[in-house]
Amino acid sequence: MSNLFSVINHSIVSEKEALVHVSDLSIQRGYGIFDYFRTVNGKPVFLDAHIERFYNSAKSMHLNTSVNSQELKDLIYKLISANNLPYSGIRITLTGGYSTDGYTIASPNLFITQSAFNFNKNNFANGIKLISYEYARELPLIKTINYLQAIYLQPLIKSKNADDVIYYSNNEILECPRANIFIVTQENELLTPANGVLKGITRNTILSFNEFGGKEAAITLEQLYNAKEVFITSTTKNVLPVLAINDQLIGTGQPGIISSRIYEKLIQLKEV
Amino acid sequence: MSNLFSVINHSIVSEKEALVHVSDLSIQRGYGIFDYFRTVNGKPVFLDAHIERFYNSAKSMHLNTSVNSQELKDLIYKLISANNLPYSGIRITLTGGYSTDGYTIASPNLFITQSAFNFNKNNFANGIKLISYEYARELPLIKTINYLQAIYLQPLIKSKNADDVIYYSNNEILECPRANIFIVTQENELLTPANGVLKGITRNTILSFNEFGGKEAAITLEQLYNAKEVFITSTTKNVLPVLAINDQLIGTGQPGIISSRIYEKLIQLKEV
């Protein structure tokens, strides 16, 4: 453990004191939501979008926050100031609280933790390999803490020499456990799954780049395999080219030109 | 909080000291498994079956326990002795541990907690009402801590004046969030869903009662609605008659004769 600080409910505490009683509904029933954003040179990136999604997730899961968004921001800035970690990831977690019957939502517990994170610019050129797996998250529009399936699949992913998994359902691709996916078709259309996925902040930012004409669409597994380029997106990954899926090369098996242009624009915007 | 004790890993601690760091994978990613059994007159009920399932769940989820089953039993008996609660529920939870990257399984944390539980014999006559909902747990054979969907649905269940939900998938019924389901057909066949469900200890016990001829089968929603009797089973509920589903009465809308006989046999066996 480091010398960092964390937030528990309304208080800043040393990281080692960031403790939760086992009766919390996250431990009892996996019930909670979170969000995660980065700081670059000490400044939170896309903070408002993350906070908006955090409150939407909380509301959808019937979790009442005891702080409003301005109070939450104040806590975040206090933590940033206390920790003095210019390049970091900050996670805000809200759980079902200390439930007396182990099932009913109580007064939610809020935790904010920060850890060093340095973006590695070498990852883009290396790209990644995915395997496909049939699964759809139960509440896909909500950023819940449920990653059971994803972590359960880690040994399978490693055994296939892959880096991550792309979920699909009814022959349509959905998302990776911690990232959205985009394809560039042979007709140079930029597409990302429309439904049944978490609306990632990086995904939404890329869709807002007019010059690439990104669109939401239903995308089949066949379209994925036949794409000219495939890449995944997330707060920590920015844009990562997918060079192979289930041992089939995508395009030339090299990062594509559109992926590269979107990546450059994104890291310029985020000042990574 | 009470004056009870809990177990954390190898130690007996006061219940208020049963604390977990927020880096635990249960809080970060909802990753953990558990089991739950009762004590009746100070004696654990079906302990070996619960412990066997606990270790099976742990193994399936790639969680290494630091105690073997005899050491686990010793800890359980120490806790029972310390708490001196003759009628109780005991929960054994195993989580993904303190993960340094918030994603990779670490050395699992073990918690054992005990709380008073008195079986209410009035519940049988009152019966319950269910609603149906299309959902299948992602890893149904494993007793994971994921109850996101179940707790998320609580307001809907309440708004329908129901007590619980029966999940179904592809028109076949599966399970309630914390109970198995049985039907008695018009031909007096006793059936319970064969696949895609947790193999409950009470369910398995009822299937072992030769005189009722219980069988595992695929059961459609239509078979459920047209059943002569329906009941759910669990460690805490034993047998609870389902008198209505989605506002449709089951049979006469009263607890059935076969349900009643199975209930009597079960509580005699458990000495509840």
User: Mind spelling out the 3-state secondary structure of chain A?
Assistant: CCCCEEEECCEEEEHHHCEEECCEHHHHHCCEEEEEEEEECCEECCHHHHHHHHHHHHHHCCCCCCCCHHHHHHHHHHHHHHHCCCCEEEEEEEECCECCCCCCCCCCCEEEEEEECCCCCCHHHHCEEEEEEECCCCCCCCCECCCHHHHHCHHHHHHCCCCEEEEEECCEECCECCEEEEEECCCCCEEEECCCCCCCHHHHHHHCCHHHCCEEECCEHHHHHCCCEEEEEECCCEEEEEEEECCEECCCCCCCHHHHHHHHHHHHHHCC
Give the tokens for residue A267: 């890291």
Token pair listed for B50: 């619960």
Query: Inter-axis angle of helices B47-60 and B69-83, to 10 degrees?
Result: 130
Q: In whole angstroms, give the CA distance from residue A180 to residue B221.
A: 35
The Cα–Cα gap between B240 and B179 comes to 10
User: What pLDDT, on a 0 to 100 scale, did the predictor assign at position A238?
Assistant: 97
CB–CB contact B6 A26 (8 Å): no
Distance CA A130, CA A183 (A): 14
pLDDT higher than 60, residue B75: yes
Substitution target in A15, A105, A147 with the highest count of B β-carbons within 10 Å is A147
- SS3 state at B21: strand
Tens of pLDDT, residue by residue over A227-263, are: 999 999 999 999 999 999 999 999 999 999 999 999 9
> For a pLDDT cut of 70, what percent of chain B falls above it?
100
Q: What 3-state DSSP class applies to B43? A: strand
- Other residues' Cβ atoms within 10 Å of the Cβ of residue A54: 23
Q: Which of B30, B93, B104 sits opposite A146 (nearest CB)?
A: B30
Q: Supply φ then ψ for residue B43, to 5 degrees.
A: -110, 130
Q: CA–CA separation, B235 vs B40, rounded Å?
A: 12
A272 pLDDT tier (thresholds 50, 70, 90): confident
In tens, the pLDDT along B144-182 reads 999 999 999 999 999 999 999 999 999 999 999 999 999
Give pLDDT, residue A84.
96
Rg (CA), chain B: 19
* A interface residues, B as partner, C-beta within 8 Å: 6, 8, 16, 18-32, 61-62, 91, 93, 95-96, 102-105, 111, 113, 135, 138-139, 144-152, 154-155, 178
Report DSSP state, residue B135: -
Smallest Cβ distance to B21: which of A18, A61, A151? A18
- pLDDT for B254 equals 97
> Can you give the pLDDT at residue B233?
98
Average pLDDT over residues B46-59: 98
Residue of A98, A101, A141, A108 lying closest to A32 (CA atoms):
A108
Q: Which of B30, B154, B155 sits opposite A148 (nearest CB)?
A: B30
Interface touch B138/A154, C-beta < 8 Å: no
Query: What is the model's pLDDT at position B271?
Result: 83
Q: Cα(A144)–Cα(B30) distance, rounded to whole angstroms?
A: 9
Cα(A87)–Cα(A45) distance, rounded to whole angstroms?
11
Average pLDDT of every residue of chain A? 97
Quick: pLDDT tens for A99-115. 999 999 999 999 999 99
Average pLDDT score over residue span A7-36 = 97
Segment A129-185, tens digit of pLDDT:
999 999 999 999 999 999 999 999 999 999 999 999 999 999 999 999 999 999 999
Min distance B16 CA to chain A CA atoms (Å): 7
Which pLDDT belongs to residue B98? 97
Q: What angle do CA A119, A121, A124 make, to 5 degrees?
A: 115
DSSP string computed for B86-122: SSEEEEEEEE--B-SSSSS--S--EEEEEEE----TT
Going by the DSSP 8-state scheme, the letter that residue B1 receives in this structure is: -
Instruction: Decide if pLDDT at B143 tops 80.
Output: yes
Question: Tokens 């927020």 correspond to what residue?
Answer: B22
Question: What is the DSSP-derived secondary structure letter of residue B84?
Answer: -
Q: Six-digit token pair at A174?
A: 């959905």
B1 has a pLDDT exceeding 80: no
The pLDDT score that the predictor gives to residue A215 is 98
Q: In the prediction, which pLDDT does B272 show? A: 77
**Burial tier of A270 (Cβ tally within 10 Å: 0-12, 13-18, 19+):** middle
pTM value is 0.97
Give the sign of the dihedral formed by CA A167, CA A169, CA A173, CA A179. Answer: negative
How far apart CA A14 and CA A37 sit, in angstroms, is 21
Is residue B245 over pLDDT 80? yes
User: In this model, does residue A1 exceed pLDDT 80?
Assistant: no
Confidence (pLDDT) at A271? 83
Give B167-229 as a DSSP string: EEETTEE--BTTBEEEEE-TT--EEEE-SSS---HHHHHHHT-GGGT-EEE--BHHHHHT-SE
User: What digits encode the pLDDT tens for the residues A82-103?
Assistant: 999 999 999 999 999 999 999 9
As given in the structure block, the two tokens for residue B224 are 């459920």
Q: Which helix (H) or strand (E) segment is B270 a member of?
A: helix B257-270
